[in-house]
Structure 1
Amino acid sequence: MTSTTTQQQLFQYLEDRFACAQACTECARACALRASLMDPDGTEEQELVRRKGIMCAEVCDATCRVLSEQNRTDETGIRVQLEWCRTVCLECAHVFDGRPGAEDGAKACRECAQACTDFLASLG
């Protein structure tokens, strides 16, 4: 039988993991939408925004899949994925900053990066 503290820690871990996966899903959606609005034959700056949006959406989607797998990924693998996601989200937010209409995407990226940071902290 597990102690109450251990059960509380497990519940918190699962809540943090779910919150992170949810933030990844929202960020993937926002970034994919932002990327789809960019003209693929546009300026070099528009192409950068489009590429970063696509990359961020793909990384967030992959992170969400890793977080939804039960016992198929070890803690080290989860940490690496979370670090990668956090880094890509922050880079994408930076690229979205100051671009008209990209505010929601930048916000979703920052929220996802924070959720990854919070979940990493819960791993100890």
Structure 2
Amino acid sequence: MTPPSSQQELYGYLEDRFACAQACTECARLCALGASVFDPEGTVELERVRRTGIMCAEVCDATCRALTEENDQDEAGLRVQLEWCRTICLQGAQAFDTRPGAEKSAAACRACAVACTEFMATLT
């Protein structure tokens, strides 16, 4: 990954990276919470929403770790992780939209998808 050329660009890059990591963390928390309130012995639809929430929480957690850990992950690998997270978050939002009381989880999924999209735009 090519480092930003100026100190101001570096600060902007780090702020965007941190904002994306925060959105991933919040989404993971709310998806795990949202998945836990559904009865695992419920209908097939409830089980699908629960599984989608768990998957979203796991992907967001992994993305947050990729964004916050000091590692030599290349830009292409980070881009793939962010795109995966964005896609899963959008699926999570759609799944939570079908369940009354899951509005916060759906909103967190959408916010995370937007944060991933915005951070990908900063990558060269």
Bin for the TM-score computed over the shorter chain: over 0.9
**TM-score, normalization: structure 2?**
0.94
- 1:106 — aligned with what? 106
**1:63 deviation in Å?**
0.1
Q: Which residue of 2 aligns with 1:47?
A: 47
Higher mean alpha-carbon deviation, 39-48 vs 91-100, is at 91-100
User: How far did residue 116 of structure 1 move?
Assistant: 0.1
Are 1:19 and 2:30 an aligned pair?
no
Cα distance, 1:73 vs. partner? 1.0
Give TM-score scaled by structure 1 length.
0.94
1:72: Cα distance to partner?
Answer: 2.5
* Residue correspondence of structure 1 range 1-124 to structure 2 within 5 A: 6-124=6-124
Partner Cα distance (1:70, 1:16) in 2: 16
Cα displacement string for residues 52-102 of structure 1 (whole angstroms, at most 9, x for unaligned residues): 000000000000000012233111111000000000000110111131111
Q: Following TM superposition, by how much is the alpha carbon of 1:10 offset from its aligned partner in structure 2, in angstroms?
A: 0.7
Aligned length, in residue pairs: 120
Matched residues, percent identical? Answer: 70
Q: Tell me how large the CA RMSD over aligned residues is.
A: 0.9
Query: C-alpha separation between the residues in 1 aligned to 2:53 and 2:85?
Result: 13
